[in-house]
């Protein structure tokens, strides 16, 4: 299949921020790694796979990792940014992570084809949602 020259979705930072809606997933997620010489269980619920030289990074639910007796790190909550951002959008994640940095909230952003997702530490999800809501309100007021 042929590729297109540009990625679909919104590229305007002002538009992305002013139309930003969020969705908090009810699950607790974790990060695991599988060495390059091993495979992961086919029944493991995977939300993201990313191959690195050191091994395969997998984002899965805490429940699934524990059910497979896998060692995990970073129990976190996933906040989906319900605006169709382009993979070529400039500054969207930077603006968000800057605001979260100011509040001392670490996050692991992941960009999917349609949406961006923030994995934030368990216990910081409500504060993160508040920061995002304020950002959206400020961007709407500035339109």
- Residue that wins the pLDDT comparison between 129 and 87: 129
Tokens of 75: 């129990």
Residue 102 CB neighbour total at 10 angstroms: 9
User: Which residues are 60's β-sheet partners?
Assistant: 30
Q: Domain 13-141 classified CATH 3.90.1150.10?
A: no
- Domain residue limits, the chain: 13-141
Query: Does the pLDDT at position 7 exceed 80?
Result: no
Tokens of 26: 């009810």
Range with the poorest average pLDDT among 2-11, 20-29, 97-106, 115-124: 2-11
**Buried b or exposed e, range 56-88, using 16+ CB within 10 angstroms:** bebbbbeebbeeeebebeeebbbbbbebebbee
The answer to pTM > 0.85 is yes
Q: What is the pLDDT of residue 10?
A: 84
């Amino acid at each position: 299949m042929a590729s297109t020259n540009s990625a679909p979705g919104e590229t305007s930072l002002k538009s992305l921020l002013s139309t930003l809606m969020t969705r908090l997933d009810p699950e607790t997620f974790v990060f695991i790694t599988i060495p390059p010489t091993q495979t992961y269980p086919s029944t493991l619920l995977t939300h993201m796979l990313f191959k690195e030289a050191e091994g395969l990074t997998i984002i899965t639910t805490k429940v699934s990792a524990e059910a497979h007796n896998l060692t995990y790190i970073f129990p976190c909550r996933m906040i989906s940014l319900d605006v169709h951002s382009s993979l070529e959008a400039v500054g969207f994640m930077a603006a968000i992570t800057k605001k979260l940095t100011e509040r001392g909230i670490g996050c692991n952003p992941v960009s999917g084809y349609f949406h961006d997702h923030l994995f934030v530490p368990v216990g910081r999800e409500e504060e993160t949602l508040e920061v995002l809501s304020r950002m959206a309100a400020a961007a709407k007021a500035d339109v």
